[in-house]
Structure 1
Amino acid sequence: MGDIRRRGAVALGITGLVAPLTIALGAAPAQAASCTTQAGPYQKQVEKFLGRPVDGKQSTADCKAIKAFQTKHGISPNIGYAGSVTWGVMDLMTKQKAVGTHPNRDGKCPTNKGRIACVNLTLQLSWIQDGDRLVYGPVPVRTGRDGYETRTGLKKIYWRDKNHVSSIYNVPMPYSQFFDGGQAFHSVNLSMWNPPGSHGCTNMTPKDAKKYWSLLKKGDDVFVYGRKPGT
């Protein structure tokens, strides 16, 4: 177990305080105010996503709505500026929603393995299927940031630790299920859209991590494919 524990601590995708997209922030205005008066390059798109009047002009109400979204998902600086990171998160959310209940529509996750956990890095989604039957999900996940990418390919869960704590970062990693050299499914108390991502693990909400724990077991297959935007 000592060996496994050391391996499990090497590339843990723990909580880097930041989510799914590592798109460059762009030139945000150098303004220390709590809410910027400047319109961003994605002003209209952000206004539309938030259900605001779409005029491309920054209003006090626009800024408050954008700032609230940024604060909720850990986007920094949270000054209400409609920049590329904010729009990138919103665009990803829209694409995830469009998947509906057919996450394996493209057939890329194997259907000949029985029960398998699938991870689509491109859409930052995961689900469990049995053959071509959807068992659970899809759910949003938070995978490795640039330089700490979650590795692709067919893997197997080789170690499970319900109360794991990283020996490197001293960070709790509840419901850890390791599937590749220290990379694991585990829960975090962060938004799944908190940029720029993990240190390699597949982060999940506590609810989803608990469900994965109950549905999967040691030896089950995991298939990771695609490429996370910004990596």
Structure 2
Amino acid sequence: MVKRSSSVIRRVVLAAAAVALAAGCTPDAAGTGPGTGTGPAPSSTATTAPSSTPTTAPTTDDKPPSPTADPSSATPSAKPLMGDGDENEQVRELQARLRQLDFFDRAPTGFYGTMTAGAVKKFQARRGLPQTGSVDEKTWQQLLSVTHKPTADELKPSTTNKLDTPDPRCMTGRVMCISKESRTLAWMIDGKVVSSMDVRFGSENTPTREGLFKVDSKSRDHVSTIYHTPMPYAMFFSRGQAVHFSADFAARGYAGASHGCVNVRDRAKLSALFDQVKVGDKVVVHW
């Protein structure tokens, strides 16, 4: 009796296995999970193949898993070559090339700030590129295609910042008209610009004062009594603050800042200006 029952059970199991293979319910590659078939699994006691049309809709567990994208086949996002806060020689070249197209109206500084980002956006808009304000490979290649390699003078001009509109207080008399917005000093006489030069100002902790002043004194070979650093061609205008030549500004550009004075990086131009300015001449520092 036991032997006959075992024989019956064996036939039932073999029949169930045949039905499973017919329905496509094979195990996964590891041999431990559910198969990829969409039909319901047959009953372990079934002796005949189920109908080809399931009587109930498959559950969500019966659905094949969503394909997972292969990371190696995904299109990589455009990685910025240059962006806000960067400071290097490639940024300087970027600025010089943008300046060739009149998108950047300042002397190249090598520092990627808001002005550079704005210039990049204008270029991207002109070329039909996404206006991100940062430079990816596509933006850079298009810029290279429509500009020439900057010369040494284009990369590091002595004095090329574009002058700001003069403050109304600069339009009469003899005045050093100093703009924080354009970072320029314009030597003006009766409303006409005689000469101009790039300037640098104090930091947030030691700001250059703004307003209307007069030249109090001049010192051709001055040395700071506080910081013990040379201040050639110093022209004092406000409680120790002066216009003077800065070797650091000439070397590092706008990467640094003064302790409140107005730094000039073109020694020859400042030397000529020093000989023209008189004690009592006006000084206007404005935005």
Check whether TM > 0.5: yes
Q: For the residues of structure 2 that align with 1:136 and 1:187, how far apart are their CA atoms? A: 16
Identity fraction in percent: 26
Whether the 8 Å CA contact 1:185–1:209 is kept in 2: the answer is: no
Give the total of aligned pairs: 154
Q: For the residues of structure 2 that align with 1:49 and 1:208, how far apart are their CA atoms? A: 24
What residue number does 1:124 align with? 183
Residues 101-180 of structure 1 aligned to structure 2 (within 5 Å) = 103=163, 105=165, 107-112=167-172, 114-137=173-196, 139-180=197-238
Look up the equivalent residue of 2:182 and give its one-letter code: L
Structure 1 length-normalised TM: 0.57
- Counterpart selection for 1:220 from 281, 284, 287: 281
Larger proportion of strand? 1
Structure 2 length-normalised TM: 0.46
Q: Do the aligned partners of residues 90 and 207 (structure 1) sit closer, same or farther apart at CA in structure 2, a change above 3 Å counting? A: farther
Larger proportion of helix? 2
Which consecutive unaligned segments of at least 5 residues does structure 2 have?
Answer: 1-78, 99-107, 120-158
Q: Do the aligned partners of residues 50 and 155 (structure 1) sit closer, same or farther apart at CA in structure 2, a change above 3 Å counting? A: closer
Q: CA deviation at 1:48?
A: 3.8
1:39 and 2:89 correspond: no
Corresponding residue SS for 1:178: strand
What residue number does 1:204 align with? 264
Q: For the residues of structure 1 that align with 2:93 and 2:233, how far apart are their CA atoms? A: 38
Residues 61-72 of structure 1 aligned to structure 2 (within 5 Å) = none
Q: Do the aligned partners of residues 156 and 204 (structure 1) sit closer, same or farther apart at CA in structure 2, a change above 3 Å counting? A: same
What residue number does 1:49 align with? 95
Q: Do the aligned partners of residues 120 and 109 (structure 1) sit closer, same or farther apart at CA in structure 2, a change above 3 Å counting? A: farther
- Counterpart selection for 1:183 from 241, 262, 279: 241
Q: CA deviation at 1:122?
A: 1.4
What residue number does 2:113 align with? 88
Q: Do the aligned partners of residues 122 and 87 (structure 1) sit closer, same or farther apart at CA in structure 2, a change above 3 Å counting? A: same
Whether the 8 Å CA contact 2:160–2:198 is kept in 1: the answer is: no
Q: Do the aligned partners of residues 128 and 183 (structure 1) sit closer, same or farther apart at CA in structure 2, a change above 3 Å counting? A: same
Q: Do the aligned partners of residues 45 and 224 (structure 1) sit closer, same or farther apart at CA in structure 2, a change above 3 Å counting? A: same
Q: Do the aligned partners of residues 106 and 209 (structure 1) sit closer, same or farther apart at CA in structure 2, a change above 3 Å counting? A: closer
Q: CA deviation at 1:207?
A: 1.6
What residue number does 1:194 align with? 254
What do you get for the CA RMSD once the two structures are aligned? 3.4
Whether the 8 Å CA contact 1:46–1:90 is kept in 2: the answer is: no
- Structure having greater relative contact order (Cα 8 Å, sep ≥ 6): 1
Look up the equivalent residue of 1:188 and give its one-letter code: S
Q: For the residues of structure 1 that align with 2:166 and 2:186, how far apart are their CA atoms? A: 14
Q: For the residues of structure 2 that align with 1:169 and 1:198, how far apart are their CA atoms? A: 11
Whether the 8 Å CA contact 2:161–2:183 is kept in 1: the answer is: no
Q: For the residues of structure 1 that align with 2:168 and 2:257, how far apart are their CA atoms? A: 23
Corresponding residue SS for 1:209: helix
Q: For the residues of structure 1 that align with 2:225 and 2:167, how far apart are their CA atoms? A: 38
Which consecutive unaligned segments of at least 5 residues does structure 1 have?
Answer: 1-36, 53-69, 76-85, 227-231
Q: For the residues of structure 2 that align with 1:172 and 1:89, how far apart are their CA atoms? A: 32
Corresponding residue SS for 1:190: helix
Residues 68-79 of structure 1 aligned to structure 2 (within 5 Å) = none
Structure having the higher Rg? 2
Q: For the residues of structure 2 that align with 1:51 and 1:148, how far apart are their CA atoms? A: 33
Whether the 8 Å CA contact 1:157–1:219 is kept in 2: the answer is: yes
